[in-house]
Amino acid sequence: MGFRHIDTVKQHFHDLYQDSIKFDTLPPDAILDSGDLATLQKTPHNTTPVPRPESFGDVMHIDIFFGPEVAIGNIYYGLSFTDRFSRMNYLYPLQNLTSDIKKQIEAFLLILDFLLVV
């Protein structure tokens, strides 16, 4: 059941289960556990940005994304195209990761060809 709404579930345990289940009602301790803090040092980040391409469509990034729920239309995943020149994002819905990827990439390439001609 996870820990998202444990407080709302705890109040019904006395009706649902025997009296053998006990919960600590004290507030959590303010003492930090060593696992609560990161001990790895941060690596220095690159301060020189990647140069932008000369024109639209020269460099495109593609990624698959998903969320915790199913969207309207039985959409489980999404396909994201990002143009590095314009930094525009194009999002395409995916119902599965097998046949829909090919269809959506082909649809995007048709639109990309149209945009490059115009």
pLDDT tens string, the chain, 118 residues long: the values are: 444 556 666 677 667 666 676 666 666 665 655 665 666 677 777 778 888 899 988 999 999 998 888 888 888 899 999 999 998 999 999 988 888 999 999 999 998 888 877 7
46: exposed, middle or buried (Cβ count in 10 Å: 0-12, 13-18, 19+): exposed
Residue 12's Cα: distance from chain center in Å?
A: 33
Task: Give me the pLDDT at residue 81, please.
Answer: 94
User: Would you state the structure tokens that stand for residue 59, as one six-digit string?
Assistant: 């460099």
Rounded Cα distance, 21 and 11, in Å: 12
Q: Model-level pTM?
A: 0.56
Task: Give me the pLDDT at residue 1, please.
Answer: 41
Three-state secondary structure call for residue 6: helix
Rounded Cα distance, 89 and 93, in Å: 13
